[in-house]
Amino acid sequence: MKRLRRILLFLGGTVVIVGILGYFGLSAIVYNAVTATNTLCTDWDYTPAAYTIPESELGAEPITPHLMPDYQEVSFPSLGDPLTLSGWYIPAAENPEASDVIILVHTWAMCKKAPNMLFTAGMLHQAGFSTLLIDLRDHGNSEIEDGHFAAGTDEYRDVLGAWDWLVTEKQVPPERIGLFGASLGAATSLIAFGEEPRIAAIWADSSYAEVEVAIRDELTRMGLPTFIASTARMMGNLIAGDDIGSKSPLLAIATAGNRPVFITHGTADTRLSVQYATDLLNGAQAAGATNVQSWIVEGSTHVSAMFDQPAEYEERLVAFFQMALG
């Protein structure tokens, strides 16, 4: 009888240990699934001078005015990190020394070659802006750090490195520099906006508000239990040394004050909920931000509004930055 009891205790302990190891193993798999930066940009041979866009209201014909043949390959350091970043600087066609400049920040697992980045840069370039498209660390042609996206908590330094390069190397006054970000690039840009009060304005397309909420929603979408979210955050510390919840767009937008902010999101977004846009707007309002605009785009999916409604997107985008930086 005693022997049987010992065997049962041993088996019970083994089951518990296996369960714990399985739980942490699953958490590590989830962390890797939502942060690994196996970039898709190798699938595209695009440059600002030659690219195509998905099917949209524009069709194939009107993309020609949005091409940017005179671009420059540039590199610059991340701010405060020993990483070299890659970018395309596209000076305005007329009077580039006096033009306003927009930094464009791509989505997770993409890069500056993504069609939504190039097309948006083309909209701004056609309107007389200079643009700087960047590759975040672990993406595109920028230096690899650890192969994981840190939810903007590290990458915001890359955005600030681009901003600092414009200020110091190109001698662009801070009040003439704006940010454009899409998806996790929008979240990263919002964090940078919160860290540097001299950033003049930001357009954030399809951002999340708080990363842990976004991870829980992603787990639900994947059919996994949401309690894994907190352990997945711990895995970020163990695997890559990243505390992905240490900064957030929601905290950052509270620093806006009277700086112009534009929040846009599609109602049919199944990747990052349109509710996050409401959360950001409510957070800005609660903090007393006085210059926040929004556009909730009916029927658009994740970061697709510039393709679904390109004429209105371009009109709103250009008007916002002309107002914000002019």
DSSP state of 87: E
Q: Integer distance in angstroms from the first to the last C-alpha of the chain?
A: 85
Give the mean model confidence (pLDDT) for residues 110-119.
Answer: 94
Q: Are 223 and 260 in contact (CB under 8 A)?
A: no
CA dist 228 and 224 (Å) reads 8
pLDDT tens for 47-74 read 999 998 876 655 544 466 789 999 999 9
Beta strands in the chain (DSSP E): 72-77, 84-90, 101-105, 130-134, 177-182, 201-205, 261-266, 292-297
Query: What is the 3 state secondary structure string of 184-222?
Result: HHHHHHHHHHHHCCCCCEEEEECCCCCHHHHHHHHHHHH
Exposed/middle/buried for residue 4 (C-beta within 10 Å: 0-12, 13-18, 19+): exposed
pLDDT tens for 196-217 read 999 999 999 999 999 888 878 7
Give the mean model confidence (pLDDT) for residues 33-49.
Answer: 76
The mean pLDDT of the chain is 85
What pLDDT sits at residue 211? 83
Helix (H, G, I), strand (E, B) or coil at 131: strand
Q: Which residue is listed with tokens 């089951």?
A: 15
Determine how β-strand 201-205 pairs with β-strand 261-266: parallel
Question: What are the chain's domains?
Answer: 36-210+245-325 (3.40.50.1820)
pLDDT for residue 261 is more than 50: yes
pLDDT for residue 98 is more than 70: yes
Distances (CA, A) of 293 to 165, 193, 325: 28, 16, 15
What pLDDT sits at residue 52? 84
pLDDT tens for 118-138 read 999 999 999 999 999 999 999
Distances (CA, A) of 152 to 12, 52, 157, 284: 42, 28, 9, 19
| Structure confidence at residue 19 as a pLDDT band (50, 70, 90) | very low
What percent of the chain has pLDDT above 90?
Answer: 63
CA dist 148 and 131 (Å) reads 26
pLDDT tens for 213-251 read 887 877 777 677 676 666 666 655 655 556 666 799 999
Nearest to 267, CA basis, from 302, 216, 227: 302
pLDDT for residue 39 is more than 60: yes
- pTM for the full predicted model: 0.86
